[in-house]
Amino acid sequence: MDYKKVIEDFNNGAIDKKVVTLVMDNDGGYWSVDAGNEDQDEIVEEQLKEKYGTPNGYRDIVDVLNAAGVNTEWCWMVLVDTDSKGKVVFKHKSGGYTALTFEELYTARDEIEKAIQHKERGLPRMFVDKRNY
């Protein structure tokens, strides 16, 4: 999907903000046109789809932000296997892998949640261990 062109055309008026909506949900999306004539609306929706593409929902967030000029990239690791010899496997952006048992995964989730809560509360930096980094 050409989000840069979509943003430009919404901003310069080439896409009418009053009648056109780009609808996005978790796993997809579509163009919605409501100009008052259902047959014509469907034709315009198809034209928009052909010109700009179809959104892939939340998976497009990095593309949308990059198109808006925000330097964005995906998280440092992604899930690649949910049961590799009893472990969940994540691939790092650097190309390495981390395998966790389900118990370790739950512990990691709890620790990540602690870190998120700490940051959301705006608390000062907390050192968990005394190793030199």
pLDDT digits (tens, 9 = 90+) for 30-66: 999 999 999 999 999 999 999 999 888 766 887 888 8
In Å, how far are 15, 52, 93 from 56, measured between CA atoms?
20, 12, 22
> Chain-wide mean pLDDT for the chain?
86
pTM given for the model = 0.54
State what percent of residues in the chain have pLDDT above 70. 91
pLDDT tens digits, 97-132: 889 998 999 898 888 888 888 888 988 887 766 656
**Would you list the domain boundaries of the chain?**
3-67, 77-120
Burial 91-114 (b: 16+ CB within 10 A, else e): eeeeeeeeeeeeeeeeeeeeeeee
Q: What's at 106, amino acid-wise?
A: Y
